[in-house]
Amino acid sequence: MSGGKLVSPGKGLPRGDSMLDIDHGDSSNTRLGVRPKALMRVESNTSFGMSGLQVQEGDEDTDELHDPRAWLKVIDAFEQPRLFYNVENEHFERDTTKPSLLPQASHKTAAFRDRYEVIHQRLLRNESFKRTTVSASRTHGPQTTSNSKNMEITPIANMLGRHGSNHLLLGQLNNLSTGELAISDLTGTIALNLDKAITIPDDSTWFCPGMIVLVDGVYEEEEESVGRGLGGGSGVGGTLGGRFKGFFIGHPLCESRQTTMGITGPEKALDDTIGGGFGWIDFLGVGSERAVGQKMRRLERRLLTRAAPAQPLSLEEREEEEENGGTEYRGDRPPRGRIVIIGELNIDQARVLHALRKILEIYSAEPDGSAPVAFVLAGNFTQDAVLSRGGGGSSIEYKECFDALASTLSDYPKLLRSSTFIFVPGDNDGWVSSFTAGASTPVPRQPVPDMFTSRVRRAFATANAEAGPSAAARRGGGVPGTAVWTSNPSRISLFGPNHDIVLFRDDISARLHRTSVHLTTSSGGDGDGDDVAATAESMDVDREEPEVAATATAVPWEKHAARKLVKTLLDQGHLSPFPTSTRPVHWDFAAALQLYPLPTAVVLVDTTTAPFCVTYEGCHVMNPGAVAAPGRKSIGRWIEYELGGVGRLRECPL
């Protein structure tokens, strides 16, 4: 009590935090109606509530927090919370073991188990897999009503002794040592025959070894397993005798971010919550949806309202804008909440640096206070692999390339003071290219070492120093411009859990073409109402236009390829659904590659496919390609993404 008023000790504490984080160690004062002296976070509950933003009472009135960049956080893949799904508790828990780049072999199995269990629980939450059987009482007879459309997944080990029976399997596609395909789950492995299997939906996804798929078919038992002596032991936990003849094959059903978080309500006002979901889980260390989601949405509306367009776009207008590659802004000035995404930036090429200058000139000429929140510049920063035999040069030449980049950025101090520049490395960048020579590197991979980027950091420090300490001089509300060298992949969190943007540089399209399994794409069948075929509509790429993805001729080839790539990645819920022999993965950091829950946006820099902007299940996926368009030497291109909206491909003459 102070002056007859009860003074709340909440100032300086996270607002909206979980009540599970209160330490009840000192309960002597609770009988008097006074809260405990200290509210300490319980270590076992660190995945709940606030953890990274540290939102405090009265923070909204400070000058620094008037800039949206004060609520922007770049999350390195090696710093992202490592969560795993506990099957017994049906809950995500934090992995408290110390990670290592050289872990034990058992960690590889743990990484596969966690990935499988996340997809399995996601499927069981889907209406098509829920078992709703209601038995009548004995007084009304033994009648039983059930939903005949519900499907049930059979563990591979449970097929032993059930020759000729029909099953639905969920497992990972693998290659046996004999060269044949197999499917594996947590209970065993069995050879797979897909000669007559039909993809569902028709020709809308890729199927490669390493992906977790749904296969419906018949088990054909034999005395010995295929490739016995080469594929491991037999029986439960090993390779089963016989083979599984698949008739239908498809990817696991995707789940929207709202469903995962247990949120319902309009798209613009996600303030209603329901009982299910993982809304209390802090997946990125920036606060959970239930704890800070509403507060962050109110803060976002207040900070970005002045620079927003005069009228919000409707759903039809957003679809039209996405189809046309974007439209001009409707307000009196460009909105502040934009992210500029520049694809592969080979700074060792003079033409690429010239294209970068043209792009920066466009945004430097915009009115004060409307500069984009962030610029994303992705590697490879050199055209050839460096620091390797026969590569692109020595470490001195590599540093000189970044010195040239620093010279280019120094010509635009206005942008350096008012925006955050995020650099994502590629496979050709140091130090990892010194022993891979540009081949597939283990992911996630470390950022470019500081010794090469010191001149770029100095350019930002000089631009901020020239503006002076005044927030008005910086024209950004008090937050100086920064250069962030992050890992690949990494994430951008803006306004807590409201905007989760994944950044990933990988030529994944070429890898899909090289390793894909050729399957029957004709949708012709007997039409007997198979359970898997009944779910074809729910697996379409675009639910507003379910017939578009049915045939490749309904849409242009480039758009069909983009939808096929996006649906494959998001259905898999993983950035690298390949075996470790194709794309190595650091087992202890595999959680950073998970796409569950679905992010709000994904930046996939892939130079082996055409640029695109595609939305699937509420997740907007963008690919800017290379900044210097191949075959079009006089054109520079990039993507401009507006927060909560869609990206648009922009081009400029060089």
Residues 6+ apart with CB under 8 A from 148: none
Contacts 24+ apart (CB under 8 A), 389-392: 389/437, 390/437, 391/433, 391/437, 391/438, 392/348, 392/428
What span, in angstroms and rounded, lies between the C-alpha atoms of 416 and 454?
A: 15
Residues 6+ apart with CB under 8 A from 423: 377, 378, 379, 381, 447, 448, 453, 483, 484, 485, 486
Amino acid occupying residue 279: G
Do the Cβ atoms of 429 and 382 come closer than 8 Å?
A: yes
Query: Which residue(s) pair with 272 in the sheet?
Result: 264
* Model pLDDT, residue 127: 85
pLDDT digits (tens, 9 = 90+) for 300-317: 988 886 444 434 445 455
pTM score, two decimals?
0.82
* Model pLDDT, residue 335: 87
What span, in angstroms and rounded, lies between the C-alpha atoms of 133 and 220?
A: 30
Q: How many CB atoms lie within 10 A of CB 72?
A: 21
Do the Cβ atoms of 432 and 441 come closer than 8 Å?
A: yes
The pairing of strands 189-193 and 181-184 is antiparallel
What span, in angstroms and rounded, lies between the C-alpha atoms of 115 and 289?
A: 23
* Model pLDDT, residue 305: 67
Whether the per-residue pLDDT at 134 is higher than 90: the answer is no
* Model pLDDT, residue 238: 79
Whether the per-residue pLDDT at 599 is higher than 70: the answer is yes
Peptide bond between residue 444 and the one before it cis (omega within 30 degrees of 0):
yes
Whether the per-residue pLDDT at 236 is higher than 70: the answer is no
Q: How many CB atoms lie within 10 A of CB 469?
A: 10
* Model pLDDT, residue 654: 81
Nearest to 16, CA basis, from 371, 368, 293: 293
Alpha carbon distances (Å) from 193 to 161, 214, 252, 330: 19, 14, 19, 55
Tokens 């509509």 sit on residue: 537
Query: Which residue(s) pair with 443 in the sheet?
Result: 585
* Model pLDDT, residue 394: 80
How many H-runs (helices) and E-runs (strands) does the chain carry? 12, 24
What span, in angstroms and rounded, lies between the C-alpha atoms of 36 and 469?
A: 40
Tokens of 55: 């939102």
HEC letters along 2-64: ECCECCCCCCCCCCCCCHHHCCCCCCCCHHHCCCCCCCCCCHHHCCECCCCCCCCCCHHHCCH
List of domains in the chain? 156-252 (2.40.50), 292-303+333-512+557-653 (3.60.21.60)
Do the Cβ atoms of 493 and 499 come closer than 8 Å?
A: yes
Peptide bond between residue 489 and the one before it cis (omega within 30 degrees of 0):
yes
Under the banding of pLDDT at 50, 70 and 90, the label for residue 202 is confident
Whether the per-residue pLDDT at 387 is higher than 60: the answer is yes
* Model pLDDT, residue 594: 96
What span, in angstroms and rounded, lies between the C-alpha atoms of 387 and 563?
A: 37
The pairing of strands 499-505 and 490-494 is antiparallel
Amino acid occupying residue 273: T
Tokens 């039983």 sit on residue: 144
What span, in angstroms and rounded, lies between the C-alpha atoms of 167 and 569?
A: 25
Query: Which residue(s) pair with 421 in the sheet?
Result: 375, 483
Under the banding of pLDDT at 50, 70 and 90, the label for residue 128 is confident
pLDDT digits (tens, 9 = 90+) for 70-119: 999 999 999 999 999 999 999 999 999 999 999 999 999 999 999 999 99
DSSP codes of every residue in 85-104: EETTTTEEEE--SPP-SS--
Tokens of 53: 């933003």
Round to the nearest angstrom and report the end-to-end CA distance of the chain: 68
- In 176-238 the beta strands, taken as DSSP E runs, fall at 181-184, 189-193, 198-199, 212-220
DSSP codes of every residue in 222-261: -SSBTTTTTS--BSTTSEEEEEEEEEEEEPPPP--HHHHH
Q: How many residues does the chain have?
A: 654
Average pLDDT, the chain: 79
* Model pLDDT, residue 501: 98
Dihedral angle at the C-alpha atoms of 235, 239, 245, 250, nearest 10 degrees?
A: 110
